[in-house]
Structure formats: C-alpha cells, structure tokens
Amino acid sequence: MARIPDNFIQDLLARTDLVELIDARVPLKKTGRNYSACCPFHQEKTPSFTVAPDKQFYYCFGCGASGNAVGFLMEYEHMNFPEAVKQLASRAGMEVPESRPETAADKQRKDRLQSLYDLLSRAERFYSQQLRQAPEKQKAVSYLKNRGLSGEIAKKFAIGFAPPGYDNLINGLSLTESALEQALTAGLLVRREDTGRVYDKFRDRIIFPIRDSRGRTIGFGGRVLGDGKPKYLNSPETPVFHKGQELYGLWEWRQSRDRSDRLYVVEGYMDVIALTQHGVPNVVATLGTATTEDHARKLFRQVNEVILCFDGDKAGVRAAWRALESLLPALDDGKQVRFLFLPDGEDPDTLVRAQGPEALRALTDQADTLSTYLFRHLSEGLDLNTVDGRARLARLALPYLDKPAGPVYRALLTEELARLTRLDKESLSQLKPAKPEPTPAAPTPRPQATQQSWGEEPPPAEWGDAIPPPEQDAFYPADDLPPMEDLGHSPRHTSSRRKGPLTMVERLVLVLLDYPQLIEAQPLPDGVEQLPIPHIDLLIQVAGLCRQNHRPAALLGALMALEQGETMARLLKASLKPPMEEAMATRLWQDALSQLEVARLEAALAEVEQAGIPDASHWQELHKALAEARQHARKPFH
C-alpha cells in the first residue's frame, strides 16, 4: 500500500477553501463568523452543520460528522482517501507526488494499534458476558439495580463485571505469551516487579468501557464492590488512551441524536449513566482527572454552553478553579460556561433520581457564569468598599483578562473589572504588565545561573548537571514568555511578566518537539495532569500529539493546526533554533519524569492527609512509593 507524503497533504489543505468546496455542493449561509446549513449526512430541519473558515473545519452538532476538506469529499462523494486528495489537487492546480510506499515501520505501528483496539474490544465483550454468566454476578447485578439502572441503560453503556480472582481475563481471552504483553500495554493486566507475575488489573469491580469519538473501546473504569481501595480504578495511559483528552459518555451522547446545545460535565461514570436514564442525555465526565484545556476544546467543538457540576465542599471549589483556568484559553466569543455547585450531600445521580431532571435544570438556571464565578472567587475576603480591596482585586484579576480566546469576551471581562474596581478601562489597560522585547540568545556559554525550575526557584540538587545552564540557550532562547509559578502557588499570585530563560515545563515541550519519540519509551507519569504546575496541560497535549506524529515536522504541523495560544507560538518560534543534542535531551527528560513522579506522590499524600484520618495501608503505600521515587530521582541516569 502506498502513502501520500504528509507535507503535500498539509500544503494541499492550506490551498483549499473549505467554504467554497462545500458551498458548491451544500448551499451555506453566513452565521456570524461561521457558515451553516442543514447537514448533508443526516436528515434534519434545523441547520446544525457548521463550517469554520478560520479553522477550515466542519462539524455537525446533530450527528457529529466532522473533518477537513479531504474528509468531506470522502464522506460526501463516497471517495477513498487517494481519490479525494487527487480531486482537491486538481482543483488547486497541484500534482500529487509519487506516493512513498508504506514502510514496514508504518505498517507495524498501524497493526500494533489495531491489535490493541481488537484486544480491548474482546475484553469489553468478556466483561459484559461476565455480568450475565459469572457465578458471582448477583452482587454486581444487585448493586446496579439498587442504583436504579435499567437493563436498557446498562446495555447502552455496555456495563460489565470483572469477577474476583487474578486470572479471569487471562483465561477468558486465552491470552498467549505475546498477547499477554499486548494486554499489559493496553492496561488490562499488571505485572509485579518483584516476582514478574502477571494478573488482571480489574477484579471484583463493575466495569465501565470508555469509548473514543469513533466508538472504539480505548480503556475501562472499574467501581469496586465492597470496601476495597481505590473505590474507582481507571486504565492507565496507553498508546490509545489518554485521560486528559477523553470524555466518558461523549460517544453515547452523540449516538442519542440529542439536539441540546449544552453539555453537563460531571465527575463519575454513574452520574453520566443516571442522568442519561432520567432524561438528561447531554452529559459527560472527565476520567479521574481535572478538566484540561484539551477537554475544554473538545467540549466547545460540540456545544456552545458547558455546565460544570461540582460538590459544594472545599475539594469541589478547588476543582472548579482548576477547571476555570483550563477553560479560559478555549473560551471563544459565543461560548458560555456555568459553574453548578450542588447542595450538601447531593450529587447529580441522587438529585435526578429523587427530584427529576427539572431540579437539575432549575439549579442550572441559577448557576454562576464563568465571569461571575471568576470575580466572586477572586473577591473572597476582600472589601470592595475600600480602595485597598479594589486594588487587590485588580491585581489578582488582571492576569486573567487576556486569557480567553474571544476578543469580545476579553473586552467584557475588562469592562466588568472596571465596574467592580471603579477604574476606567484605559487605566486597567495601563496596569496590565507590558510585554518586554525578546532577548536574543547568548552567542557563547556563560556561567550557570540559578533561576531554573518548574517555577522561579532554583532546581533541586538532584537534577545535577542534567539541566543545561539557562544562559547556554542557543537551543531554547529566552523570550517574553508569561510568568511560571512555583508548584505550590496559584497562577493568580503572578505579579508581572518575566524576561529570562525558559522554565522546565517549557523546555520539556521543546524537547518533545525535537525528539517526539521520547514519549513512547518514557511516558509522563499517571496523574501528572492534576499537578498545579503552570502549562502542564500544554505538556500533556504535546505528549499526546507526539504519539500520533513521530516526525518533528508532522508534529509541528499538528500543533499549529490546533491553534495553540500565545505561549505555544513563542515556543514554536524557539523550536526553530538548533535542537539540543539527543543525549542531553534524553537525560533532561528522564530527570524531569523522576521529579514529576515525586511531585505527583507528594500531592497525593497531602490530599490523603488533608481529607482526615487516612486509610492506614493506602497511606503507607504512598509513603513507600514516595521514598522510592525520591531515591530514584537522586540516582544518576546512564
């Protein structure tokens, strides 16, 4: 099988006007900055098919059809990929270059991914079968019935059961030695480091298959039956499953053909399922992670309004603020976010079961908009009747005014802050930190400096000489990048923009731009997305794209197509400099992963201890893991 070069496809799409292409087949009507029509791929009376000329992308809010110019021709004209490319090339006056043959590496990678999808699909069928046939099935069935789930909804979400025992899946799927390795890669099995023994990851749990936007099973969530820990267990990061990018229930909502222009975002699988059963199908859940910028962009591609549901306790408030910071960069004009804090003791599941969907909708109408919540949160503890209080609010809020993608939204936030602080918009504009001129890279190495960690503090001693001195930045020069805070501080404490060397997170992004293959051999630690490290979401997003684009040129193209923000633009500019040597980049990446794992375990331990009296065994496990991680971080890499 032959393959058309990627750079030709990118050039072809850049020369194609998607609006003109579609309008010749489906008459489009201008609606604001976009164009709309009745969808050509399903029957509808009200237009839900949208074409975005700036992104050269189409999407149907009804059936979920989406893609670029090549995808449209393939679906509308029933062409295969080479035929669609050839037709677009003819329109653009371009000649399709001789396709390079699919290499053995290409085929191996594609086959490897497909084998994972096939194995995960088989596992889904096994778990579903066990819910009907396992000797221990009754406790699982009773649990689901007690939660009020019908057989129809259980089938819709393909709910299953993993019986107790360590080798049910292994035996049930008759896994060979090579298949065992695949199952480990897919996150279905676990291997003990001390004995090398392989066993089922999910045991004595209700199983919730997680599907991607194409309906393929990519992972699982498991709810324990009994008092085991943890209560919920998710698949780890794998080549096909990335927690920070996926939303549970999104595919099921698309299949429902619900026409809602809003999506509820809840915390758990059961909340999604219960709301769907009780007449609220437009609901999704994050997968044990905080809401990321990837989640936000995916949500806003589906609907114009997002409702985030949180508990009203301190943990819910912290989660809401993290979500706000992730949503702001994706918030374009015409998009809306609400923060719904549930009454004490209630979650979406119990609320709709007891009071019906009307109660949820009534609470939604009273929920804070993003701007209301932003200023209310920042104003806590401040007396806005005093000059000091208003001055403090202005300083806290200014860094957030330029974050939304939409210029109208940015202007309205500035106007609201002006009203609250009694300052005019011109005064606020003058107070915004000025962007300094970029500092050129130093032509020759200088003595090692000290400002070089995740934030602005010196690096831990364990990093050793793996970190190149900041001034030796012919690779990644200093720029007028936004300030990066210390691990323990919220971004709102930022007082000014800095001019100086890149922080470690920024350097790691640039390392991946030059050596995307690093992420395959040494992925980011599980749970790193929950760390309060500035721009960690960007690192996670770039890591995910590296798995799909192994060549730096293709990766850069994918990043630019995603329209990263101001930070990404500067980093891309820095990436045009000569790359760091691969050995140094690998060492830097390895050391960074060690420190990230330490930070993740420290955060997990702090959260357990703050929650009250911790489970003794879990607390001890975390302490042991943290000690081992710290010891590992001190070891030199070879």
CATH of the domain at 397: 1.20.50
Residue 33: give its domain's CATH number. Answer: 3.90.580.10
pLDDT-derived band of residue 238, with 50, 70 and 90 as boundaries? very high
Does residue 84 sit in the same domain as residue 135? no
Mean pLDDT to the nearest integer, 435-446: 42
Does residue 273 sit in the same domain as residue 365? yes
In this prediction, residue 56 carries a pLDDT of 82
Q: Which H or E run contains 162?
A: strand 160-162
In this prediction, residue 301 carries a pLDDT of 77
Domain count, the chain: 5
How many alpha carbons lie under 13 Å from residue 471 in its C-beta half-sphere?
9
- pLDDT-above-90 percentage for the chain: 29
Q: Considering the domain boundaries, does residue 436 fall inside one?
A: no
Q: Considering the domain boundaries, does residue 455 fall inside one?
A: no
CA distances from 394 to 167, 498, 564 (A): 59, 19, 27
CB 251 within 8 A of CB 212: yes
Asked if residue 187 has pLDDT above 60, the reply is: yes
Asked if residue 58 has pLDDT above 70, the reply is: yes
Q: Considering the domain boundaries, does residue 543 fall inside one?
A: yes
- Of the candidates 349, 344, 345, 371, which has an alpha carbon nearest to the alpha carbon of residue 360? 349
Does residue 393 sit in the same domain as residue 365? no
Q: Are strands 368-369 and 336-342 parallel, antiparallel or unpaired?
A: antiparallel
Asked if residue 548 has pLDDT above 80, the reply is: no
Q: Are strands 232-234 and 262-266 parallel, antiparallel or unpaired?
A: unpaired
In this prediction, residue 551 carries a pLDDT of 59
Does residue 52 sit in the same domain as residue 115? no
In this prediction, residue 514 carries a pLDDT of 78
Burial letters 35-50, b for 16+ CB under 10 A, else e:
bbbbbbeeebeebbbb
Does residue 404 sit in the same domain as residue 369? no
In this prediction, residue 465 carries a pLDDT of 33
pLDDT-derived band of residue 474, with 50, 70 and 90 as boundaries? very low
* CB atoms closer than 10 angstroms to residue 596: 24
Does residue 389 sit in the same domain as residue 425? yes
In this prediction, residue 445 carries a pLDDT of 38
Mean pLDDT to the nearest integer, 601-613: 71
Does residue 585 sit in the same domain as residue 548? yes
Does residue 206 sit in the same domain as residue 278? no
pLDDT-derived band of residue 577, with 50, 70 and 90 as boundaries? low
Does residue 214 sit in the same domain as residue 306? no
- Domain enclosing residue 403, as ranges: 381-431
Q: Which H or E run contains 392?
A: helix 387-397
Asked if residue 472 has pLDDT above 70, the reply is: no
The Cα–Cα gap between 238 and 547 comes to 10
Mean pLDDT to the nearest integer, 315-319: 86
Q: 91-100, 172-181, 338-347 — which is least confidently predicted?
A: 91-100
Asked if residue 156 has pLDDT above 90, the reply is: yes
In this prediction, residue 573 carries a pLDDT of 54
Asked if residue 500 has pLDDT above 60, the reply is: no
In this prediction, residue 572 carries a pLDDT of 58
pLDDT-derived band of residue 204, with 50, 70 and 90 as boundaries? very high
Q: 176-190, 200-214, 509-523, 558-572 — which is least confidently predicted?
A: 558-572
Does residue 267 sit in the same domain as residue 372? yes
pLDDT-derived band of residue 274, with 50, 70 and 90 as boundaries? very high
CB 434 within 8 A of CB 480: no
* Long-range contacts, 6-10 (Cβ 8 Å, 24+): 6/551, 6/553, 6/554, 6/557, 7/553, 7/557, 8/94, 8/96, 8/97, 9/70, 9/85, 10/557
In this prediction, residue 276 carries a pLDDT of 95
Mean pLDDT of the chain: 79
Q: Considering the domain boundaries, does residue 1 fall inside one?
A: no
Residue 155: give its domain's CATH number. Answer: 3.90.980.10
Asked if residue 405 has pLDDT above 80, the reply is: yes
In this prediction, residue 191 carries a pLDDT of 92
Mean pLDDT to the nearest integer, 65-94: 85
Cα distance between the two ends of the chain: 40
Q: Considering the domain boundaries, does residue 187 fall inside one?
A: yes
Q: Considering the domain boundaries, does residue 486 fall inside one?
A: no
pLDDT-derived band of residue 550, with 50, 70 and 90 as boundaries? low
In this prediction, residue 609 carries a pLDDT of 65
Asked if residue 530 has pLDDT above 80, the reply is: no
pLDDT digits (tens, 9 = 90+) for 323-350: 999 899 988 888 999 999 998 888 888 8
pLDDT digits (tens, 9 = 90+) for 112-155: 889 999 999 999 999 999 999 999 999 999 999 998 899 999 99
Asked if residue 241 has pLDDT above 90, the reply is: yes
Q: Considering the domain boundaries, does residue 327 fall inside one?
A: yes
Q: Considering the domain boundaries, does residue 230 fall inside one?
A: yes
Mean pLDDT to the nearest integer, 440-469: 34
When comparing pLDDT for 523 and 481, which is higher? 523
Does residue 194 sit in the same domain as residue 283? no
Mean pLDDT to the nearest integer, 227-239: 88
Asked if residue 485 has pLDDT above 60, the reply is: no
Does residue 573 sit in the same domain as residue 599? yes
- pLDDT-above-70 percentage for the chain: 79
Residue 349: give its domain's CATH number. Answer: 3.40.1360.10
Q: Highest mean pLDDT: which of 37-46, 373-382, 398-407, 435-444?
A: 373-382
Q: Which H or E run contains 29?
A: strand 29-31
Q: 152-156, 375-379, 504-508 — which is least confidently predicted?
A: 504-508
In this prediction, residue 303 carries a pLDDT of 86
Asked if residue 184 has pLDDT above 60, the reply is: yes
In this prediction, residue 222 carries a pLDDT of 94
In this prediction, residue 247 carries a pLDDT of 93
CB 512 within 8 A of CB 519: yes
Asked if residue 34 has pLDDT above 80, the reply is: yes
